[in-house]
Structure 1
Amino acid sequence: MSQLSLLKNRRFFPLLATLFLGAFNDNLLKNALVFLVTYQSIQVFGLPPSEVIILAGMLFVLPYFLFSAFAGQVADKFEKSRLIRIIKALEVLMMAIAGLAFLSEKIEWLLLVIFLMGLQSTFFAPIKFSVLPQHLKETELVGGNALVSTGTFFAILIGTVSGVLIRLSEWGSIFVSLILFLFSALGLFASFWIPKAPATDSKLKISWEPFTPSWQMFQFSRQNKSVFWSILGNSWFWFLGSSILVLLPTYAKEMLKVNEITLTFFLFVFTVGIAVGALLCERLSRKRLEIGLVPFGSFGMFLFLFDLFLIGAPSYEGMVDEAVGPIQFLSSYEGIRISVSLFGLAVFSGFYIVPLQTLLQQRSEPSHRSRILAANNIMNALFMVAASFALIGLKRLGLEIPDIMLVLAMGTAAVSLVIFNLVPEFLFRFLLWLISSLLYRVRVKGYENLPEQGPAVLVCNHVSFVDWMLIGGAIKRPIRFVMTYKFHRGFFLKRILRRGKAIPIASKRDRPEIYEAAFSRIADELGSGELVCIFPEGKLTPHGEVNEFRPGIEKIIQTSPVPVIPMALKGLWGSFFSLEGAKPLLKWPKKLGALIELEVGQPIEPERVRAEELERQVVEMRGSWK
């Protein structure tokens, strides 16, 4: 079922509609204020218009630092749909005040409303992302996050453009006031259709001072290494995104010499790119969390940022006496290349952010998920403020916008390398995703037989040198593969297997110390609740048929009585990586892009595990399809 089917589902659509209408109002309000202050040269508190705009941005972000800790506690302690309705009701009141302020041109009131909208967003953010795992199935969460990202960016685009266009009208203040109030009322109406989401920690005692609970939230996030470093990766996305949106108007006007319509075209291209990347995530990840997309996304972001650095300014045919429109801009080679790079940057940003957001939701402890997401909001706000100061500093150093694009590209590479080095699972999953998605088309039958959590031993027939990669790519939970110690000798493969926490094994006769260490490590991993995968044949099949299963599986279960799940790989015999016909890797590549099936059988209780019975089940599942 496609992620778009969620748009017809009450578990999701009312929440998405509420989010969209709120994000639209935020951006309509901010951009209408910017236009009013800029073009009427209004001063407030003795500040010039440019500084009033900066003040408005700071007032919107300030509540994230002051109240995120409290907001996270509230979201965990109380039922969330009721909280959303209260927040949206207050938004209606705020928009009424904003409308009066626009009509009377009371900028001080508008600045107060900007602060209150920032406060509303502070409380809403941890609720909206923590409610998704409560309403959606695991297979729907990636698609749900993709639709939320798409809706948010389109709301930002439409709100930004509308704020300018409406203010250009003679009746601009009236239109802005009516639309703000109408959309806030529609958001309140939509919120009444959001299903209940019970409190995850109703006994939580709320702390009113901000510092201790803020520190506690970051301590919660540190309990899971991948969650903590994903917050850093998520925050870099907002650093990068806010930098691009700040740079685009200046880049368009001063360097590319284009008009406002072309600038709007850039914003449209960027928004559509984010939407395409986000929506493709579900397909590329087979509807489950695939953090291997994060390195793929970061590489694309680096590549297109670097290209924007290399391109420079377009050369237009003939004399250009006025700002260039979209058609003339796209008539130049550089114009097409800049548009493609902006679109590519946005698409790969979607590949990057959706899995990170889904990881934060899935791997955070449910009892304090909202507080971890609130910690993420604090970091996001901190990085966005840092982006503003960084851009000012780079400008004062004399850097042109293409140079700043290079700095952002290098920053993306640096942040990615730090995260991927500290959490090797990202790169390991990327390798598995490449093999299982690009070299072959892997179809999984019986995925529901795999436990979502807790230990189990997976046993599978052994057809090729890439069996472990295909299984690891098809199954989204981390797996500890038991593999011959000889694979751990190669310079590159050794590092890949170490990052994937593979377990080296040898025969008891050949290397007894490795043999005993392997079984000890298997017991430790199962004791920690992990999945362990073994190939009981102990070698690749030389003829395509399943070899006899060795009794090592029984030794494992005697020490660690956990469920055993039989699996069968089909379609790999005769491939480039199998022993059919000639030595693997030394023959003409065959079956690349072929359909491969992994069938997952029913779990077997530990007391019923026998090697010969497992062999019979695997042979039966594999059938005649080698």
Structure 2
Amino acid sequence: MAISSQFRLLGQRRFLPFYLTQFSGAFNDNLYKNALLLLIAYKTTGLMGLSVNTVINLAAFLFILPFFLFSGIAGQMADSYEKAAIIRKVKLAEIAIMVLATLALWIGWYEGLLVLLFLMGAQSTFFGPVKYAILPQVLGDDELVGGNGLVSMGTFVAILLGTIAAGLLMGLEGAAKLTATSVLVMAVLGYIAARQVPDTGVVSNGQAVRFRPVLETWNLMSVAAERKPVLWAILAISWFWFLGAAYLTQFPNFALSNLRGDETVVTLLLSMFIVGISIGSMMCERLTRHRITLAPVPWGALGLTLLGIDLFFAVPASPEPSTWWTLVTDPAYIRVLLDLVGIGVCGGLFIVPLYAFIQHETPQNKRAQIIAALNVINALFMVASALTGILVLGVLDVSIPGFFLLLSSANGLVLIAVWRLRRRTG
């Protein structure tokens, strides 16, 4: 049976409104979060008696905290109620949050913006389980890998564009007010798209939604552990977020210290990494031949290891001052860019089949809770990634390329694990 490209899904109502909704949400999250961090770094000398560095770390903590508090509740709701209705309510909540954020940005009330950052994290927490649990209900098995590839590509491109937009807005006069207008407009556009998401029908698991923050999140772990192959797939995805968070966090210092680059170099490194992930995500449909299989995953893991090792050796020993143009024209730097693109491609090959596998192998009445568990473990691994970076770079005084080499070597163990998972699942 001839099956057309995954891009045809973008022309269908069962997928396009959802795709635009999740894209706008990822864009807005990153625009708001990065703009707030830049405003705190450059427009203030600290808040509530705390230093700028402390406030920036507090902001990152406040955004991720809701995943630990509310993921269990979010998963129960998504498994108990109609998913399109939840999407619309979550996007409506985003508008309310952004109205308050607009007011706070206009008057410069940064303490309030931190509270709203927590609420944005909560809104993302409730959207996350629906985001991936809805796909198997609107896509066929032969479309699931392609649909996940599109969602993965859209999410990372939205992260990139939101981050770049925040930086561009900060360079303009009246940055806070322009940011306020932008986040509100994006929230409204996201809600308009959400209004077009078709109803999926209610497939309730009969479980009552219990408002017990933290406890219900903890209970998710037992749900996730019910199927060992699914649990291993969850851990593999979370490892990628550990790895990806490490790369993304170190790009600014890597550009400055090891490439002697300006701010355009940071943007280029981020862009190449995300372009690579997008390419890898799009390749999965063709490589799997529209089947739900983990076949590309070990190859993605192998590439993450080999290219990460090559990146260590590609970094110039005595770099000259560089801009983005230097990196795209000087052979000594082009190798670094190619490695980052390749690492991104392998990351896409690694995570997209795993997402499709989890969606396919979990029962519909528990699928959202499994996704919620995945989100919690992802958050834990990203926190662990930050702590590992502090330990390796700050305490052990390893260089950033050396840190990348250590991560790539550790990924060799993950390669063994996913190869065994691939053989067990066929």
Is the CA contact (8 Å cut-off) linking 2:135 and 2:144 kept in structure 1? yes
The SS at the match of 2:249 is helix
The aligned residue for residue 465 of structure 1 is none
d(CA) in 1 for partners of 2:204, 2:9: 28
Deviates more, 1:197-206 or 1:57-66: 197-206
| 2:168 counterpart letter in structure 1 | L
| 2:323 counterpart letter in structure 1 | G
Superposed counterparts of 1:26-41, under 5 Å? 26-41=29-44
Residue 328 (structure 1) shift: 2.1
1:172 aligns with 2:175: yes
Label 1:214 to 1:172 Cα distance change in 2 as closer, same or farther (>3 A): closer
Is the CA contact (8 Å cut-off) linking 1:201 and 1:368 kept in structure 2? no
| 1:416 counterpart letter in structure 2 | L
Match of 1:130 among 111, 128, 133: 133
d(CA) in 2 for partners of 1:38, 1:9: 43
* Structure 1 spans left out of the alignment, 5+ residues: 430-477, 479-626
| 2:139 counterpart letter in structure 1 | L
The aligned residue for residue 374 of structure 2 is 376
1:393 aligns with 2:353: no
d(CA) in 1 for partners of 2:95, 2:348: 32
Residue 46 (structure 1) shift: 1.4
TM-score normalised by structure 1 residue count: 0.66
Is the CA contact (8 Å cut-off) linking 2:70 and 2:214 kept in structure 1? no
Match of 1:205 among 197, 208, 213: 208
1:12 aligns with 2:22: no
1:404 aligns with 2:407: no
The SS at the match of 2:290 is coil
Residue 415 (structure 1) shift: 2.6
Match of 1:279 among 277, 282, 287: 282
Superposed counterparts of 1:319-334, under 5 Å? 320=320, 323-334=321-332
The aligned residue for residue 224 of structure 1 is 227
Label 1:282 to 1:81 Cα distance change in 2 as closer, same or farther (>3 A): same
Superposed counterparts of 1:464-613, under 5 Å? 478=426
| 1:214 counterpart letter in structure 2 | T
| 1:63 counterpart letter in structure 2 | P
The aligned residue for residue 81 of structure 1 is 84
d(CA) in 2 for partners of 1:77, 1:28: 32
Residue 324 (structure 1) shift: 1.5
d(CA) in 1 for partners of 2:334, 2:195: 46
The aligned residue for residue 156 of structure 1 is 159
Superposed counterparts of 1:50-199, under 5 Å? 50-199=53-202
Residue 211 (structure 1) shift: 5.0
Residue by residue over 1:450-488, the C-alpha shift from the partner in whole angstroms, topping out at 9 and shown as x without a partner, is xxxxxxxxxxxxxxxxxxxxxxxxxxxx4xxxxxxxxxx
Residue 315 (structure 1) shift: 5.0
| 2:405 counterpart letter in structure 1 | L
Residue 212 (structure 1) shift: 4.8
Deviates more, 1:207-216 or 1:66-75: 207-216
1:295 aligns with 2:292: no
Residue 219 (structure 1) shift: 2.3
Residue 314 (structure 1) shift: 5.9
| 2:143 counterpart letter in structure 1 | E
Is the CA contact (8 Å cut-off) linking 2:70 and 2:217 kept in structure 1? no
Deviates more, 1:193-202 or 1:47-56: 193-202
The SS at the match of 1:207 is coil
Label 1:248 to 1:128 Cα distance change in 2 as closer, same or farther (>3 A): same
Name whichever structure is richer in helix by fraction: 2
TM-score normalised by structure 2 residue count: 0.96
Is the CA contact (8 Å cut-off) linking 2:315 and 2:333 kept in structure 1? no
Between Structure 1 and Structure 2, how many residues are aligned? 422
Q: Percentage identity across aligned positions?
A: 39
Superposed counterparts of 1:240-259, under 5 Å? 240-259=243-262
| 1:100 counterpart letter in structure 2 | L
Residue by residue over 1:469-523, the C-alpha shift from the partner in whole angstroms, topping out at 9 and shown as x without a partner, is xxxxxxxxx4xxxxxxxxxxxxxxxxxxxxxxxxxxxxxxxxxxxxxxxxxxxxx
Label 1:203 to 1:158 Cα distance change in 2 as closer, same or farther (>3 A): same
d(CA) in 1 for partners of 2:165, 2:353: 31
d(CA) in 1 for partners of 2:105, 2:85: 30
The aligned residue for residue 353 of structure 2 is 355
Q: Which runs of 4+ in 1 moved over 3 A?
A: 210-216, 418-421
d(CA) in 2 for partners of 1:37, 1:329: 30
Is the CA contact (8 Å cut-off) linking 2:132 and 2:371 kept in structure 1? yes
Label 1:187 to 1:326 Cα distance change in 2 as closer, same or farther (>3 A): same
Is the CA contact (8 Å cut-off) linking 1:75 and 1:127 kept in structure 2? yes
Is the CA contact (8 Å cut-off) linking 1:290 and 1:355 kept in structure 2? yes
- Using CA pairs under 8 Å that are at least 6 residues apart, name the structure with larger relative contact order, 1 or 2: 2
Residue 329 (structure 1) shift: 2.7
Superposed counterparts of 1:309-328, under 5 Å? 309-313=312-316, 315=318, 320=320, 323-328=321-326
Residue 208 (structure 1) shift: 2.2
d(CA) in 2 for partners of 1:282, 1:331: 33
Residue 427 (structure 1) shift: 4.2
Residue by residue over 1:323-368, the C-alpha shift from the partner in whole angstroms, topping out at 9 and shown as x without a partner, is 4212223333320110000000000000000001111100011111
* Structure 2 spans left out of the alignment, 5+ residues: none
| 1:139 counterpart letter in structure 2 | D
Is the CA contact (8 Å cut-off) linking 2:68 and 2:217 kept in structure 1? no
Is the CA contact (8 Å cut-off) linking 1:3 and 1:144 kept in structure 2? yes
The aligned residue for residue 343 of structure 1 is 341
